[in-house]
Amino acid sequence: MLEVKGIDVYYGAIHALKGLSLEVEEGSIVTLIGANGAGKTTTLKSISGLLRPRNGAIMFKGSDISKVAPEKIVGLGISQVPEGRRVFSTMTVLENLEMGAYLRKDKKGIESDLENVFTRFPRLKERRKQTAGTLSGGEQQMLAIGRALMARPELMLMDEPSMGLAPLLVKEIFEIIKDINARGTTILLVEQNANMALSIANRAYVIETGEIVLEGTAEQLINSEEVKKAYLGG
């Protein structure tokens, strides 16, 4: 479904991604793990069109999207849940969710998806008229996920969804990710919480200083001595 082929991405003179390649199969959960500053967010931003690779290609359902505008990429079926949630803090919960559907014209479909989001996140329904900035961190994360779902994505890019959340909430967010995937959305998950990410993923990649240094099934990586030492506190 998604194939990143040898992309080079620069921030000015800094070579942030060096010939990076990865593949996400339809229906799967793929995780990209690595330390702070390894290039995880840069990878997601390149896929969603916010950064342009200098070399290489990003293939989505057989077409190269590396030069496509970000809003067009959303229209093709890719949505991102950004790092740090990035909800529109002065807008209400409902307005944030409606923003997720801004490219859609099917009024009935939008209404039914809104109901689905409220069924999945009852706390958002209770607070639908509240401004997003007054929500707790966990509720804002749920809102960011709900907003991305409103675009009806085929592929969801998730950037550090567990960041800054209490352990119980982290567990809840990962259950939600599993559920979204079970209902047919493919997921590329970027996480520092390697334990949790590997526990729900089918396939995993380890990134260090802009390069993929390890890849395999999540099971292989959980059992890898290298990964245990570096990321799993083993």
10 Å CB burial of residue 67 (0-12, 13-18, 19+) is exposed
Q: What is the DSSP letter of 232?
A: S
pLDDT at 57: 96
Using DSSP's 3-state secondary structure scheme, residue 118 falls into: helix
pLDDT at 229: 80
Decide if 156 contacts 189 (C-beta within 8 A). Answer: no
Query: Buried b / exposed e across 172-198, counting CB within 10 Å, b at 16+?
Result: bbbebbeebbeeebbbbbbbbbbebbb
pLDDT at 234: 55
d(CA 178, CA 215): 21
Q: Could you list the pLDDT tens digit for every one of the 234 residues in the chain? A: 999 999 999 998 999 999 999 999 999 999 999 888 889 999 999 999 999 999 999 999 999 999 999 989 988 999 888 776 788 878 898 888 888 777 677 888 788 888 888 888 888 888 889 898 888 887 888 889 888 888 888 999 999 888 888 888 888 889 889 988 998 999 999 988 888 899 999 999 999 999 999 999 999 998 888 888 877 765
d(CA 43, CA 222): 22
The whole-model pTM stands at 0.86
Decide if 162 contacts 196 (C-beta within 8 A). Answer: yes
- Domains of the chain in start order, with CATH, are 2-87+147-231 (3.40.50.300)
Residue type, 78: I
pLDDT at 50: 93
Which helix H or strand E contains 170, and what residues bound it? helix 167-182
Separation in Å, CA 6 to CA 24, 54, 78 = 15, 10, 20
